Structures are given as structure tokens and as C-alpha cells.
Amino acid sequence: MISKNDKKQRLPSKKTLKAIAEALDEITAHFELAGFFARMTEGEGSEDVGGPTVFDREDIEVAIGVFISRLSQHGILKSNEDEPTSFSGVFESFFGEDHEITEMANQFEERIEGYFDLVGSEDMDGAYNLALEMKGALLSLAKD
């Protein structure tokens, strides 16, 4: 979890931490709904095993766009073109590049990188769990 060194860094206010945690719901909700938009992998011998196995990366990019837009619209992020437009960039701007939450955001981005814009279900699961962990970490910090 959050190390002592991390806690020494200047953190955003509790209100901001809660707002970021709530904005993450835009992403986790997308993951929960993604199965309805994604396709089954097609090919010889493939069978429906109850869920999609490959996801389009652009769907996740839109969810991240909504997440960042929400922070801007609520005044948490300044809405100008110099502000970060990447998921990890948002967390780096709030916590610095060495913070554990920023590291989780980097891992999230690696998970959704995909291959030729297709993301496998294992990576989707991993990214979803990271988003949940990040939300938990943010709420934990907001309580301290």
C-alpha cells in the first residue's frame, strides 16, 4: 500500500482525492459494461465461453477521455491544452512520478496498450483491478 515516503509528498486535498476516486467510476463502469460492446473472437474452433476475449482499445480511450473531462469540468484539473491528456499524466500531476498511485496508473496504461489496438481479456481484467485498487488507495488517503 502507500509507503511512508509517499505520504511525505504533498498530496491533494481530501476533497480532490475523493473527486478523483469518484471520477475513476467512469472507467470501472466502462469495464463492467464493456462486454456488451465488445465482440467474441471469431475463428475456427472458437466457442462462446461466456464473455468477450478481445476488446477494442478505442473504447477504453473514450472512458479515459470521460474521466479526464470530468475532472476538468469539476475544476479539479485546469481545462487547457497544456494539462495532461493521458491517464498516468493526471496522476503524475497530482502525486509526482514516483508515487505508488502514479505507478499503478502507469501499469494500467501498459495493460490497455494492447496489440494493434486490441486488448486481451487478461489485460482488461488486470486493468480493471488496478483501477479498483487505485480508487481504494485514493479513498484511503482521503481518510488519513
Partner 1 sequence: MDMAKTQELLTQILSQRIKSSAPRAQYWLSGASEVIVFGSMSVGLNRPDSDIDVLCIGGDEGKVKTNELDLIAVSVEATRSRAWLQSELASHVAEYGTWIKGSPTSWRSEVGIGPTVAMEKRRRVSAFMTAIPKSWLKLEERFRVKFSTKLRRETQRLILLERSVPIPPTRILDCSWFTISKSPTEVHERLRALAPNSFSAFTDDLLARLDPHTGTGSPPA
Contact residues for partner 1 (CB under 8 A)?
26, 37-39, 56, 58-59, 61-63, 65-66, 68-70, 72-73, 79, 81, 85, 113, 115-117
Please identify, using beta-carbon distances, which residue of 14 and 39 lies nearer to partner 1: 39
Backbone region of residue 45 per phi and psi (left: phi > 0; alpha: psi in -120 to 50; beta: other values)? left
CB of 24 vs partner 1, minimal distance in Å: 14
Please identify, using beta-carbon distances, which residue of 116 and 143 lies nearer to partner 1: 116
Encode 50-119 in three state secondary structure.
Answer: CCCCEEEHHHHHHHHHHHHHHHHHCCCCCCCCCCCCCHHHHHHHHHCCCCHHHHHHHHHHHHHCCECCEE
Nearest to 76 by CA among 62, 96, 93: 93
Please identify, using beta-carbon distances, which residue of 27 and 130 lies nearer to partner 1: 27
CB of 140 vs partner 1, minimal distance in Å: 27
CB of 58 vs partner 1, minimal distance in Å: 5
CB of 11 vs partner 1, minimal distance in Å: 25
